[in-house]
Structure 1
Amino acid sequence: MARFKKTLSNWLNARHIFIIQNEEDFSEKATYKFTYAKVVLLGFITFLIVLTIGIYLVNTVMAQWFDPRYAEQETRKDLVQMSISLDSLAQELEDRDRFITSFKKIMRGDVSTDEITAEQPVRQLSASDTEDLERSDSIFKAEFEKGSDFLLTGDIENDELRQLYFFSPISGTISEPFDPKGEHFGVDIVSKKDEPVKCIADGTVIMAGWTQAEGNVIAVQHRDNLISIYKHNATLIKAVGDFVTSGDIVAIIGNTGELTSGPHLHFELWYNGSAVNPIEFISF
């Protein structure tokens, strides 16, 4: 056994020369000195590198071909993502339905103080907070009874609106301007008979129906808390939930409702809950 080990050691450590010669004149082109021990070590290192690369590829790039569990794992991931997306979509639809319902109540004037406060977070009030609330409530009631435009007295930041481009809903002549003190929260535009009414920007229809005072009314929710409202239409083209783009026809000009004396479009623009003058942002 010792003799075998000695013979193997001598064989591994024996020095050899590998010479490359020219076939025609036998001149030396290259010379390499080596031992079988170095050759075995180099081969083992190469084997480890190839094995590592192979395992990495099998577990990553080529997993779909070699791993029988790959398809099942990917399916589970897709199911989890779909479940998350469905939950998110359901929440968005619920929020939108709640918003549409609230907006319709606001338009009809059916919103009560109890309904508004019920949606707000509840916290314990101190004595000073109670006094401030009572004082504010008294001011609110006084302003409301006077019929003033207390909702519109604050400075409204319209810089963002001025940076946007709005499509003109209709071409015509303004017969009655924006007058919030007179409770005219939009502009009246007189135009040709059966003229189409177009949406000013991309958005979603949140109201489309009949009211006794305004006739056929359609409202569109745009981004950045912007809402456009089109009243007294002869016909409504879009329905609640429809997505509309800038320039899409949403209605036909008309003379419906009690608060009208002739064919025209009453157009309102609401930003962050306050009415703004449409002529400051749109050319009719």
Structure 2
Amino acid sequence: MKRFDLKKITQLKYLFVIRKEQDFSVLSSFSLSALRILVLSAFVFLVIFGLAVLSTKTIFKRWFDASSAQMANTERILALSDQVDSLLIEVRKKEQFIDNIQLIIKGEPLEVGEEIPTSVPQANRTDGIVNQQWSEGTKKIMQEFQSPSAEPVLANRNSAASSDAGAVFFFTPIKGFVSARFDPVNDHFGVDVIAKGNEPVLAIADGTVILSTWTINTGHVIGIQHRGEFLSFYKHNSVLLKDVGDVVRGGDIVSIVGNTGDLSTGSHLHFELWHKGSALNPQEFITFD
């Protein structure tokens, strides 16, 4: 009876030859020992076995484990809930921005808790007002400069507005007599400048037109966003010469002075200047006479 000799088996060598079928010429050949074949076979077996176990656990767990499926569904629901919450917050901010713009152009005071829009990047037109797209920087600025009081804050030359205004040259929108000064206590957030009829109204600085519309109280109104987060509003115009989205340069004619709107009692320009949620006294930055 022959005895099983592992040593002899492992020392066996085999020659693998690849020939052409037509003429049996040798294309390639290589040799393998029995030991190498055993090691290679064991390695392939272990790899296939490991992949089979891994796939079995994950696939079967996904198919038959109710708790795993429930956890996956819960994660998806939470992710969708976060997205919905973020979208709702953005929608509320945009709605608040539009409401505040409408209050400003109507000359009405803001209610407690409301904010003045602080930045208007390039956006889409909707009913004569641009839709705000809030950036992270704008959110931080709004939180920093938010005022808890119901009335806009009066800024002076020692405030942040003065430092920002140092980099911006303001043109006089119209020359004339200031008949009503800045008085935020009585909800008058700008100045009234009496001028000759059909006088042109100029943009105070480079910027983008964010609204060009008409309201019952303030007539034809145009608003411009300037760098440094300044907003300027020109009310009671007889004619508006720029549309929403137009880019203007300082000194460009944007409208013609007029006497439109129920709050107007004569040909004049009501001009307002805002900065980071605060109403500014235009006469501290611009000379009208």
Q: Give the TM-score normalised by the residue count of structure 1.
A: 0.51
The answer to whether the aligner puts 1:106 opposite 2:125 as a matched pair is no
Deviations 1:28-75 (A, max 9, x none): xxxxxxxxxxxxxxxxxxxxxxxxxxxxxxxxxxxxxxxxxxxxxxxx
Name the structure 2 match of 1:234: 238
- Counterpart of 1:204 in structure 2 is 208
The structure with the greater share of residues assigned to helix is 1
| Alignment of 1:263 onto 2:261 | no
Q: 1:167 to 1:120 in 2, by over 3 A?
A: closer
Evaluate the alpha carbon distance shift between residue 264 and residue 164 of structure 1 in structure 2; reply closer, same or farther with a 3 A threshold.
Answer: same
Partner of 2:76: none
Q: Distance in 1 between matches of 2:255 and 2:268?
A: 12
Tell me the equivalent position of 1:250: 254
Selected match of 1:274 from 278, 286, 289: 278
- Report 1:107-256 matches (<5 A): 107-109=101-103, 144=150, 149=151, 151-152=153-154, 156-157=159-160, 158-256=162-260
Quote how far apart the aligned CAs of 1:162 are. Answer: 3.8
Deviation at 1:105, TM superposition (A): 2.0
1:95-150 residue CA offsets vs partner (Å, 9 max, x unmatched): xxx9987543213249999998xx899xxxxxxxxxxxxxxxxx96xx64xxxx26
CA 1:120–1:252: 2 relative to 1, 3 Å? closer
Over 3 Å counting, the alpha-carbon distance change for 1:279 and 1:223 in structure 2 is same
Deviation of residue 220 (structure 1)?
Answer: 0.2
The answer as to whether partners of 1:203 and 1:221 remain within 8 angstroms in 2 is yes
Higher relative contact order (CA 8 A, sep 6+): 2
TM-score (norm 2): 0.50
Runs of 5+ unmatched residues, structure 2: 1-91, 105-109, 116-133, 137-146
Aligned length: 163
Identity percentage of aligned residues: 46
Q: Cα gap change, 1:255/1:183 in structure 2, threshold over 3 Å: closer, same or farther?
A: same
Flag structure 1 segments of 5+ consecutive residues without an equivalent.
Answer: 1-97, 122-138
Distance 1:237 1:103, change over 3 A: farther
RMSD: 3.4
Give the alignment of 1:58-73 within 5 angstroms: none
Contact 1:100 1:207 in 2 (8 A): no
Contact 1:104 1:207 in 2 (8 A): no
